[in-house]
């Protein structure tokens, strides 16, 4: 009787052995690579920092960057520069100077500016008092521009048409103004202006000549009084380069024919401000309001 063939028993496939050998060799290879490698700590920290910024990780604030002061009202602080954000953030600013010193300095600045404005108003009032009648007649206009007083003299009643001779009435007004200018410091600039209608005569070849001679005539009257020093005067002839109005009509051209006397007080005001600051610094730590009001009399050398 023939024997039956033996049944094949199930087992591990043959390829598994080869795969296991390959994995073992790969693991040994990477272990050897790791044992030969060196870790650069600085480069690792740099890469880690860049990754944390890329993923929005909030940076740690070192102890050296602790804010100098916080507000009891706002307990949120961000040392980063302000950027547009959808989230409302409260950002603070600090200073090394004491807040009370800043408050005193602000009060002092207000006192100084008020004193300078008061002196400027008093000076303008002196000039306005002398020119009161001429201002009401419309022959003279008075304006205040920062630290300058502008006296605008219309041609009507001051100069004959096409002439640079000062009228008798206007000459008397200039003599009264010279007495006021003697008590007011600063440079006096006299500007002559005309319209755009060309002029050509035996005496004046152009509007430049007319405007310059008219300004010189006003300066001569001020000098004849003896109250105004020549070093303070500046004479300019501007012709029709700076019109007040358009030259389309006779009325507008009449507005452009004028002489302007500009009292520049910027220099004396700067000196007075320096004097007031010196006075305030000498009284640090003491009440300034009564002292400043009582001791800020105009300096004698300014003749204010």
pLDDT digits (tens, 9 = 90+) for 49-60: 776 666 665 555
pLDDT confidence band for 6 (50 / 70 / 90): low
Label residue 15 by pLDDT band (50, 70, 90).
Answer: confident
Determine how β-strand 187-193 pairs with β-strand 233-237. parallel
**130-264 has which fold?**
60s Ribosomal Protein L30; Chain: A; (3.30.1330)
| Residue 16, pLDDT score | 86
Is the Cβ–Cβ distance between 150 and 142 less than 8 Å? yes
Residue 302 has pLDDT above 50, yes or no: no
Write the DSSP symbol of residue 232. G
Contacts of 218 (CB under 8 A, 6+ apart): 153, 166, 174, 190, 259, 261
Angle between helices 99-130 and 168-182 (to 10 degrees): 150
Q: Per-residue pLDDT tens for 183-237?
A: 888 899 999 999 998 888 888 899 999 999 999 999 999 999 888 999 999 999 9
Whether residue 3 is predicted with pLDDT greater than 80 in this model: the reply is: no
**Total-model pTM:** 0.59
What confidence score (pLDDT) does residue 237 get?
Answer: 94
Domains of the chain by residue range: 130-264, 270-298
The predicted pLDDT at position 149 comes to 92
pLDDT at res. 289: 46
What integer pLDDT is reported at residue 261 of this predicted model?
93
**pLDDT for the residue numbered 82:** 57
108-131 pLDDT per residue, tens: 788 888 888 888 888 889 899 988
Give the number of other CB atoms < 10 A from CB of residue 280.
22
What secondary structure does DSSP assign to 165-225, as a single string?
A: PPPHHHHHHHHHHHHHHHTS-SEEEEEEE--SS----SS-SSHHHHHHHHHHHHHHHHHHT
CA distance 302 to 304: 5
């Amino acid at each position: 009787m023939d024997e039956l063939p033996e049944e094949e028993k199930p087992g591990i496939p043959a390829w598994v052995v080869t795969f296991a050998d390959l994995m073992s060799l790969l693991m040994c290879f990477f272990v050897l690579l790791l044992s030969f490698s060196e870790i650069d700590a600085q480069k690792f920290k740099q890469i880690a920092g860049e990754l944390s910024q890329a993923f929005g990780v909030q940076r740690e604030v070192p102890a050296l960057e602790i804010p100098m002061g916080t507000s009891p009202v706002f307990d949120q602080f961000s040392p980063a520069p302000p950027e547009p954000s959808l989230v409302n953030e409260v950002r603070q600013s600090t200073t090394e100077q004491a807040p009370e010193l800043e408050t005193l300095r602000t009060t002092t600045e207000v006192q100084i500016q008020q004193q300078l404005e008061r002196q400027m108003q008093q000076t303008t009032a002196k000039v306005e008092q002398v020119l009161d009648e001429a201002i009401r007649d419309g022959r003279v206009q008075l304006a205040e521009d920062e630290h300058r007083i502008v006296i605008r003299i219309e041609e009507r009643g001051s100069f004959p048409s096409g002439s640079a001779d000062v009228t008798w009435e206007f000459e008397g007004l200039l003599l009264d103004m010279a007495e006021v200018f003697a008590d007011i410091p600063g440079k006096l600039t006299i500007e002559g202006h005309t319209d755009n209608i060309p002029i050509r005569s035996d005496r004046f070849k152009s509007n430049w000549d007319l405007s310059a001679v008219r300004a010189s005539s006003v300066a001569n009257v001020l000098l004849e009084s003896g109250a105004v020093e020549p070093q303070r005067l500046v004479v300019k002839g501007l012709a029709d380069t700076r019109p007040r109005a358009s030259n389309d009509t006779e009325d507008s051209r009449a507005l452009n024919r004028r002489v302007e006397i500009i009292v520049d007080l910027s220099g004396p005001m700067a000196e007075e401000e320096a004097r007031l600051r010196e006075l305030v610094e000498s009284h640090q730590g003491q009440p300034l309001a009564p002292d400043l009001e009582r001791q800020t009399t105009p300096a004698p050398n300014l003749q204010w």
